């Protein structure tokens, strides 16, 4: 009996043995394409006929482009599973996949701790205004131009998006004596809240000393923080973003920083990565990290293994370990 085919979009870096072990249950193939035009042509040629599952990475967007309506239409009808290596999956049009009967999975919790660690680093750095001192030190300017920061104790942390990363962050900031409020589409159970207070979106904006963005990027959350939202915040608020750059309007953020409405911020993600808004680069009250939230060996390995397990379950059990929430109740 012919083995089903599995398509690799991107590279396996750390879990090579685990990936190669899939060859016992499937034929593993890779595209020859180097850009979207070629990939669409390769799809049309029938090269991926009988592929039932695909493993994809963020970097594979350089080959396929976004997994949008056009590309989904070009994928073989045999493809039933798209296994994405990442917690966020804004590169994938889930609605288009659902319409074609393609189940999408992500890696929802493997990234929680490493991202929350970076989040905490940015909170401490931004609230204490460390960046100005660190930059000045390398120029031989000992404390020149530095302003006093603040202690995190007793400050109100507003978490916008209290998923796995947000909850992991809360555990870390509890140790510093911060008070956590949060806003989600839905209130969490008391067990998951662990003492955090559920508030409305506007109340989170108005009460928080530090606002941490930990929500996914989609059509509802794009620029969820912009000029109107900054105007509702406390003067001197601190903003942290480890989610996706486009959940915040960077032009509006630069203006809020320039006016002093936002005292400082810490960013691991940007609207047009790898390009960074020049107004952010120029502002020494801004801590900038080049999307390193999951940039550890342990987390990268866990993410690859998790995605490989999704592929294995797709082939062997016709199911997924972690289907995306939008498809949780979909009929296939």
| Active-site residue set | 244, 273, 291
Please tell me whether residue 255 adopts helix, strand or coil conformation: helix
**CA pair distance 65, 71, nearest whole angstrom:** 8
Please tell me whether residue 330 adopts helix, strand or coil conformation: coil
What does the block give as tokens for 216?
Answer: 């996914």
- Strands 156-160 and 179-183: what pairing? parallel
Pair 325, 88: CB distance under 8 Å: no
DSSP label at residue 161: S
Give me the long-range contacts of 323-327 (CB less than 8 A, separation at least 24).
323/103, 323/104, 323/105, 324/89, 324/94, 324/104, 324/105, 324/106, 326/94, 326/95, 326/98, 326/104, 327/94, 327/97, 327/98, 327/103, 327/104
Half-sphere exposure of 48 (CA within 13 A, CB side): 26
């Amino acid at each position: 009996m012919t083995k089903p085919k599995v398509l690799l979009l991107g590279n396996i870096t750390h879990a090579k043995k685990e990936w190669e072990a899939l060859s016992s249950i499937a034929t593993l193939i890779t595209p020859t394409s180097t850009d979207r035009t070629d990939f669409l042509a390769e799809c049309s040629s029938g090269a991926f006929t009988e592929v039932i599952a695909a493993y994809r990475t963020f970097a594979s967007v350089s080959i396929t482009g976004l997994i949008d309506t056009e590309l989904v239409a070009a994928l073989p009808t045999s493809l039933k599973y798209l296994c994405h290596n990442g917690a966020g999956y804004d590169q994938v049009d889930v609605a288009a996949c659902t319409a074609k009967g393609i189940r999408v999975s992500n890696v929802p919790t493997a990234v929680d701790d490493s991202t929350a660690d970076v989040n905490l680093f940015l909170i401490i750095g931004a609230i204490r205004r460390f960046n100005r001192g660190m930059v000045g030190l390398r120029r031989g300017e000992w404390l020149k131009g530095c302003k006093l920061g603040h202690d995190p104790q007793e400050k109100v942390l507003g978490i916008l998006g209290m998923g796995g990363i947000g909850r992991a962050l809360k555990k870390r900031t509890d140790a510093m004596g911060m008070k956590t409020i949060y806003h989600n589409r839905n209130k969490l159970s008391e067990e998951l809240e662990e003492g955090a207070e559920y508030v409305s979106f506007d109340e989170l904006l108005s009460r928080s000393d530090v606002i941490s963005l930990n929500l996914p990027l989609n059509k509802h959350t794009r620029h969820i923080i912009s000029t109107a939202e900054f105007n509702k915040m406390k003067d001197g608020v601190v903003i942290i973003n480890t989610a996706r750059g486009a959940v915040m309007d960077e032009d509006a953020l630069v203006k809020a920083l320039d006016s002093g409405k936002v005292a400082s911020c810490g960013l691991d993600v940007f609207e047009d990565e790898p390009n960074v808004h020049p107004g952010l680069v120029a502002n020494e009250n801004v801590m900038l990290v080049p999307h390193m939230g999951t940039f550890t060996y342990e987390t990268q390995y866990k993410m690859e293994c998790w995605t490989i397990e999704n592929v294995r379950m797709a082939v062997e059990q016709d199911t997924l370990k972690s289907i995306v929430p939008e498809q949780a109740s979909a009929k296939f």
